[in-house]
Amino acid sequence: MQPALLELKGVSKSFGALVVADNIDLRLEAGEALGIIGPNGAGKSTLFNLVAGLLRPASGTILLDGHDVTATPAEARCRAGIGRSFQVPQPFGSLTVFENTAAAALFGAGKSPAEVADFCADILELTGLIGKADRLAGGLPLLDRKRLELARALATGPRLLLLDEIAGGLTDAECQTLIATIREIRRRGVAVIWIEHVVHALLAVVDRLIALDFGRVVAEGAPDQVMNSEIVRTIYMGVPA
């Protein structure tokens, strides 16, 4: 069998008494799009930090292309093809928008300085930031900061893109643009894992959905199947439907 793009086997992590990842198993094929839902504090962003390498799991294994990357630091995982956005945008504020993506292209995607201009311009066009390429990232409004999170993650040349709540706070029209952008990213062959509370945006893009609660995968499967499951309804509505 072809190894999966990403595979988590029994991954666990606690912060003191708080269990944020409880024996998580997960498998993602190349080019696939997976959505993650769950209440605040369910361990969604922690899962991204584990996959991206900013946190080490207490137990379990993380495989990329069948290779064990559990002990691989974040910078090496990025170069191996994992790009991520942060839930709270973390732009390089003293650099311009273009320089933010250029750093990602040079170090994450391994682009040569000669390739960087075209490569980043393409991504800035895709994410709607091309008109602000020379602006300082620290002075951007929230929507543009979120766009920059996406642009910078894309500029690392990922095969797997981790998106953490990038649709929150967007207007309907902006959300539609974002959906189109992520569809385009998928069309280019990038696998996506997307954490999102804006469920309708998520459902417009993903093939598969999992629900997290207290660090555990409580539901997994086709999007409408998960959304209609008793456990998800209990978590979100408080009562079984």
Partner 1 sequence: MLERANPVSESRVGEGGWRVVVGTRLSRIAAIVAAFVVVGLVVLPAFASRALIQDLIFVFTMLALAQLWNVLAGWGGLITVGQQAFVGLGGYVLFAATVLAGLDPLLAIPLAGLFAGLVAALIGPLLFRLEGPYFAIGSWVVAEVCRLLCAQFKPLGGGTGTSLPNVVTANMWGLKPVQDLLAVRAPVARDVIVYWLTLVVVVATIAAIYAFARSRLGLALAATRDSMAASRSIGIRAHRIRYGLWIVCGVATGIVGAIVYLQKARISPDAAFSVTDWTAYVLFIAVIGGVRTIEGPVVGVLLLWALQHYLAQFGSLYLLLLGLIAIVMMLFLPKGLWGTFAERADIHLMPLRRRLRRS
Residue 7 CB, nearest approach to partner 1 (Å) = 14
Closest C-alpha among 168, 205, 199, 203 to residue 183? 205
Closer residue to partner 1, CB minimum distance, 155 or 232: 155
Residue 15 CB, nearest approach to partner 1 (Å) = 16
Q: What are the residues binding partner 1 (CB under 8 A)?
A: 52-54, 64-65, 67, 69, 72-76, 78-81, 83-84, 86, 90-96, 98-100, 102-104, 106-111, 113, 115-124, 133-134, 138, 152-159, 185, 188-190
Closer residue to partner 1, CB minimum distance, 120 or 212: 120
Rg (CA), the chain: 18
Residue 51 CB, nearest approach to partner 1 (Å) = 11
Residue 29 CB, nearest approach to partner 1 (Å) = 14
Query: Alpha carbon 96 to chain centroid distance?
Result: 23
Closer residue to partner 1, CB minimum distance, 93 or 169: 93
Distance (Å, whole) CA 209 – CA 3? 21
Residue 226 CB, nearest approach to partner 1 (Å) = 28
Closest C-alpha among 26, 163, 181 to residue 82? 163
Residue 134 CB, nearest approach to partner 1 (Å) = 5
Q: Do the strands 208-213 and 216-221 form a parallel or antiparallel pair, or are they unpaired?
A: antiparallel
DSSP code at position 4:
P
Query: Is there a contact between 196 and 37 (Cβ–Cβ < 8 Å)?
Result: yes
Closer residue to partner 1, CB minimum distance, 95 or 143: 95
Distance (Å, whole) CA 235 – CA 237? 6
Closer residue to partner 1, CB minimum distance, 104 or 202: 104
Is residue 122 within a helix (H) or strand (E), and if so which, with residue range? helix 113-126
Is residue 161 within a helix (H) or strand (E), and if so which, with residue range? strand 160-164
Q: Give the position of tokens 């190894």.
A: 3
Spatial neighbors of 227 by CB under 8 A, at least 6 apart, are 199, 203, 209
Q: What are the distances in angstroms from CA 219 to CA 36, 62, 139?
A: 10, 21, 40
Closer residue to partner 1, CB minimum distance, 80 or 203: 80
Closer residue to partner 1, CB minimum distance, 111 or 208: 111
Residue 231 CB, nearest approach to partner 1 (Å) = 32
